[in-house]
A = this chain, B = another copy of it.
Amino acid sequence: MQLTLDRPKLISLAAGFTDNESLPVEETSRMLRLILSNARISRESLQYGSTAGDAVLRKATAERLKKADQPAARYDGNYKSDSVLITHGSQQFLYLMTECLCDAGDIVLVEDPTYFVYLGILQSRGVAARGIRLETDGLDLSDLERVLEDLKEKALLPRVKMLYLVSYFQNPSGVTTSARKKADALALLRRYEKHAGHPIYLLEDAAYRELRFAGDDEPSALTLSRDRVIYTGTYSKPFATGIRVGFGLAPEPLLTVLTRVKGNHDFGTSHLAQHIVRAALHSKAYQKHVGVLRERYAAKAAVLCRALKEFFPPTVNWQVPRGGLYVWAQAPCDTGQKSPLFQRALEKNVLYVPGELCYAEDSTRPIPQNEMRISFGGATETEMTEGVRRLGIALKQLS
């Protein structure tokens, strides 16, 4: 992101920025007029709130999730206001959760590849990561079992605290893990818990769930367990990243501990930002905007795919995305930060995310060196086409 902000001529196919043209300027203005013209609400929104978040927004969040998970939402207790913590983006929830659950020396299971900023969180807290292979339809369960068995043999299961899953239109791979696979993964974790001596949680990161433009929604992991699933989502990417409101749900006693830690971090998320989201949900401006965004990203993804087809050599593999912000590609050459491809791309003022950054440091398996994440979020259609054209030239020269 910093590079993008510093070099305005750079075409960034790397940054996780959202589409600039479709940001809800009108909607946000309208919400703010509503909020600030109301004598009571205006003052409330400019004053501190409670640490866990605005009560109305927590309730709306729980209810929306329950509705999204119907008819599979069998555990009422998973969808209570009291289970919801409002955070400064879902990123903050990931941080707080990891702080609460993991000590230095602990282990978190992650997907291979996974959200690289989460790897940064783990590293900063001295927590190790073990990568679990990802298939085109989600987590490779036999690999999960193999890793759990290996950890059991090495008597390391007591250090394993959770499995982190970016389960919808994964960042970076675009892969969605089905509810069936999530259930099987949970059952596997349960099976190994007796050797761990404590619960092994499934932390489901659903940041991209609402950015779906093809196929049907999958029920969340909250439909699968009363006491082993932690879920986080966001109102930022589907509405406005500049507002920065996310949320997470966790079973007790985790949520109480999380709320205390949130109190230490910042006392609670900006009340004004929460009120904007609350008003947008209430007025359906949010839901309408998500609809607009879905069409927008579908169109942008189509432009990107067309460019990939036209300019990339046929030796590069990639999947047509069904949601999210990313296309994940396998090249026939090295794509790393020090590779000729990355350097040549930079010379041509194009940036992508080298796939190697999305893999945990896990000495039990090699890290693929030939992948890249290409975003259709922030760049315009013209920029994407031009960026892919330039990247395609570099790829043809090097592969």
Contact = CB atoms under 8 A, between A and B. Distances in A.
A32 interface: yes
Contacts of A25: 36, 42-43, 46
A50 interface: yes
Contacts of A24: 46
B91 A267 contact: yes
Residue with the highest number of chain B CB atoms closer than 10 Å, among A1, A32, A117, A270: A270
A325 interface: no
Given A29-B32, A117-B267, A243-B272, A17 B48 contact: yes
Given A36-B28, A95-B264, A50 B2 contact: yes
A363 interface: no
Contact of A264 (B32, B124, B269): B124
A274 to B, nearest CB: 9
Q: What's the interface size class on A, roughly?
A: 35 or more
A46 B240 contact: yes
Given A91-B265, A124-B261, A242 B47 contact: yes
A49 B29 CA distance: 20
A336 interface: no
A211 to B, nearest CB: 15
Interface string A236-267: 00001111100000000000000011011111
A113 to B, nearest CB: 18
| 3 interchain residue pairs of minimum CB distance | A242-B271, A46-B242, A46-B240
